[in-house]
Chain A
Amino acid sequence: MNFLVALTAIPLTSVVLSLTKLKVEQLRVVIPMLTWLQLVILTFLSWPALLSNTSVLTFSVDFSIDKIGACFLLLTNFIAASSITHSAWFFANEKLLGRGEEPQHEKLFYVACALFVTAMSFVFLTDNLGLLWVSIEATTLFSAALVYFSRDKHSLEATWKYLIVCSVGIAFALLGIILIFASSQHGAIPGGSMSIRLLVEHAKELQPKLLQLGYIFCLLGFGTKAGVFPLHTWLPDAHSEAPAPASALLSGALLNCALFAICQVTAILKVSEHALLATSLPVIWGALTALAASFFLIHQFGIKRLWAYSSVENVGIMLFAIGLGSAPLFFFQALNHSLAKVALFLLSGNIIQSAGTKDLSHIRGILQVSPSWGITFAAAAAAVTGMPPFGGFVAEWMILSQCENLTQGIAAGVLLFALALSFIAVSLHVGRILWGKPKHQTVVHPTFASTIIPLLLCIFSLLAGITCLPMFFLNQP
């Protein structure tokens, strides 16, 4: 129980503080500090799991964590701390623009953020498939409040789509989990079990038909939440309508949670006797998702929609890595994607504030408006498309070189084409954003402070690429 207290004490403090009569200006200082403190606490909590390669750190009956889970836990909380810190500048600028005049909305934003991040942390901490489902559904409910932030017609429509599509999708994942649970009751484990580690141990004795059916439903359900093609429809709307720090959280942290759930279920099927489904289905689906997303990237009209589709493309790559059965590669790709994409969403938030529009055809000459934004923006875009010095390149290279059989080879070819296409599309859009003459009067004066977090994230992505430290850390040379 101690660990539950350690895990929830800080978020609950943030919730209580946000609901008291504290001024938003004070909250903008206190809440980010609390989220960084939470990151430190979680690092201490999961330290033993980070150090050892094989052992699993068990907290209590349904809660335990291994090395990959700990890495994801820290990544999620790091992304959350960065986004929430940046949101202080973001909301201060909103106020300058005369928007977001209701302090109550901002307070609710902090409440929803704290609960959302806690729900995401539970996804990595739980060992129980049922509780995993409960946590993921909880993330949907809390993040709906973030998408609804601006309270206009567009955000309402996006929130409704998000809530309905994801809830129905996740319901199918529950059906899948029940099927997997039922498969464990056929003699493998007395009474059956939902513990992922127990299921992996006894994977060979699970009832094969139920297990395979359950896997397909889980893939479908969590795939909806992760935004794989053709179930991605909610994703661009929600990412585009949420305020920039919330889009960053959705893209950089939430998608990883859903993919982590898929990774866990795949791990069970992989050691059973029917591994073919687990190796081929995610690989093919991942490649197709990346391909479809790169076509959507070509014709884009909204800056945040552009990055949303780029996220769909990256989800495809990560699903591919999961299909290859390499959890460390999945983490490496997720790390690079999260760092770069969060930087991009945060910067796009600045740019939208400065340009006063989300329309790509009206955003020009960012280099002229603010060189520091422009350079960071270019670096982050290069990182997200997988340009060489950045981590994304190493991760994608390793993923492509790990294919073993013909199916995976063909899928890798498709993925390579998708990567090339999306690189061209993103470069063209970014080129138009950076150069040219600014079409607008700058309303918000660009400050260097609003570049700090994105710049740091880009530097981390660069370091990950140059040193490949994460891969050595995860023992994958």
Chain B
Amino acid sequence: MTITATEICVLTAALLACLMVGSLHLRVNLWLYSLSTLCIAAATATSALEHSEMGPIFIAILIALLKSVAIPKFFSWAIDKLHVQRDLGAMVTPPLAMHAAILLFALSFILTKEIPSPAGSVNGWFGAAGGISLVFTGLLLMLTRRLAISQIFGFLVIENGIYIFALTQTNGMPLIVEMGVLLDVLVGVMVSGLLLFKIQKSFEHIDVAQLTQLKEY
């Protein structure tokens, strides 16, 4: 069984995301996210070269510029402004959570084995596994963190996973849809980033575990 360059990029991205779960330092998380997203841009580019199409190259450049440079820059600025360095961590300790993430990485290979490979290509198994693993990692990140900013990181990782899934399981999404999704994610991240500042201002912390004023009695 041969492994293509795209699949190597995808699996590297998934493993880098697993490492994110292992560190509570926000800046380390941002670097890992940036690298993981760069791998995804590389995967987009190599898959475009394999199919000898030029359209996706444009998307790869957009992803590299927006998601692996602009978004981490924005959050790095936000971290400075909010004066937070570390997440507090919830429920399980980071090393344990990272091992869980790696276990889920392995599990996603089992889960995606049954998914039929995309039309016209021999095998899409590794790509699907990488995508699902990223989704799991993102969910795990959201569950094991307390700061609002880490929840946004988790969402970004999930979104990367879904993008990888689309990249490897379909023969190219329509361009307009791809653009729309990218725009929505960017605006969503900006809106939630701005909300972070409002939460910091009103509550004087960004700890989601303490946002419990609204509940059922």
Which of A65-73, A184-192, A314-322 lies at the binding interface? Answer: A184-192
- For residue A209, CB closer than 8 A to chain B, the reply is yes
Minimum CB–CB distance for B7 against chain A, Å = 17
Could you tell me if A209 and B114 are in contact, using CB atoms closer than 8 angstroms? yes
**B196-212, CB < 8 A from A:** 198-199, 202-203, 208, 211
Could you tell me if A167 and B155 are in contact, using CB atoms closer than 8 angstroms? yes
- Please report the total number of A residues contacting B with Cβ < 8 Å: 50
- For residue B1, CB closer than 8 A to chain A, the reply is no
Minimum CB–CB distance for B116 against chain A, Å = 6
Could you tell me if B191 and A141 are in contact, using CB atoms closer than 8 angstroms? yes
- For residue B3, CB closer than 8 A to chain A, the reply is no
- For residue B195, CB closer than 8 A to chain A, the reply is yes
Minimum CB–CB distance for A243 against chain B, Å = 16
Residues on the A chain within 8 Å of B211, using CB: 157, 160-161
Could you tell me if B177 and A130 are in contact, using CB atoms closer than 8 angstroms? yes
Could you tell me if A134 and B181 are in contact, using CB atoms closer than 8 angstroms? yes
Could you tell me if B116 and A192 are in contact, using CB atoms closer than 8 angstroms? no
Residues on the A chain within 8 Å of B87, using CB: none
**B14-67, CB < 8 A from A:** none
- For residue A182, CB closer than 8 A to chain B, the reply is yes
Could you tell me if B192 and A163 are in contact, using CB atoms closer than 8 angstroms? yes
Q: Tell me the complex Cα distance, A240–B203, Å.
A: 20
Contact with A178, one of B173, B176, B199, B203 (Cβ below 8 angstroms): B173
Could you tell me if B171 and A185 are in contact, using CB atoms closer than 8 angstroms? yes
Could you tell me if B151 and A164 are in contact, using CB atoms closer than 8 angstroms? yes
Could you tell me if B187 and A141 are in contact, using CB atoms closer than 8 angstroms? yes
Chain A 164-193 against B: per-residue CB contact (8 Å), 1 yes, 0 no?
A: 100110010011001101100111000110
Residues on the B chain within 8 Å of A178, using CB: 162, 165-166, 169-170, 173
Could you tell me if B195 and A154 are in contact, using CB atoms closer than 8 angstroms? no
Minimum CB–CB distance for A225 against chain B, Å = 13
Q: Tell me the complex Cα distance, A133–B178, Å.
A: 11
- For residue B95, CB closer than 8 A to chain A, the reply is no
Q: Tell me the complex Cα distance, A141–B190, Å.
A: 10
Could you tell me if B115 and A209 are in contact, using CB atoms closer than 8 angstroms? yes
Could you tell me if A156 and B171 are in contact, using CB atoms closer than 8 angstroms? no
Residues on the A chain within 8 Å of B118, using CB: 182, 185
Residues on the B chain within 8 Å of A131, using CB: 176-177, 180
Minimum CB–CB distance for A423 against chain B, Å = 21
Could you tell me if A168 and B180 are in contact, using CB atoms closer than 8 angstroms? no
Residue from A144, A152, A159, A181 with most neighbouring chain B CB atoms (10 Å): A181
Minimum CB–CB distance for A111 against chain B, Å = 14
Known contacts A128-B174, A237-B214, A207 near B192 by CB under 8 Å: no
Contact with B171, one of A128, A151, A191 (Cβ below 8 angstroms): A191
- For residue B216, CB closer than 8 A to chain A, the reply is yes
Chain B 141-160 against A: per-residue CB contact (8 Å), 1 yes, 0 no?
A: 01000001001000100110
Residue from A133, A163, A236 with most neighbouring chain B CB atoms (10 Å): A163
- For residue B77, CB closer than 8 A to chain A, the reply is no
Could you tell me if A296 and B213 are in contact, using CB atoms closer than 8 angstroms? no
Residues on the B chain within 8 Å of A182, using CB: 118, 169-170
Contact with B213, one of A153, A181, A207, A301 (Cβ below 8 angstroms): A153
Residues on the A chain within 8 Å of B174, using CB: 128, 130, 194
Residues on the A chain within 8 Å of B213, using CB: 153-154, 157
Could you tell me if B199 and A156 are in contact, using CB atoms closer than 8 angstroms? yes
Q: A137-B184, A141-B191, A241-B214 are in contact. List 8 more A-B contacts (CB 8 A).
A: A62-B176, A144-B195, A160-B148, A160-B199, A161-B211, A178-B173, A192-B171, A296-B216
Could you write out 5 A-B pairs with CB less than 8 Å apart? A128-B174, A156-B199, A171-B155, A209-B115, A237-B214
Interface residues of B (CB under 8 A from A): 114-116, 118-120, 135, 139, 142, 148, 151, 155, 158-159, 162, 165-166, 169-171, 173-174, 176-177, 180-181, 183-184, 187-188, 191-192, 195, 198-199, 202-203, 208, 211, 213-214, 216-217
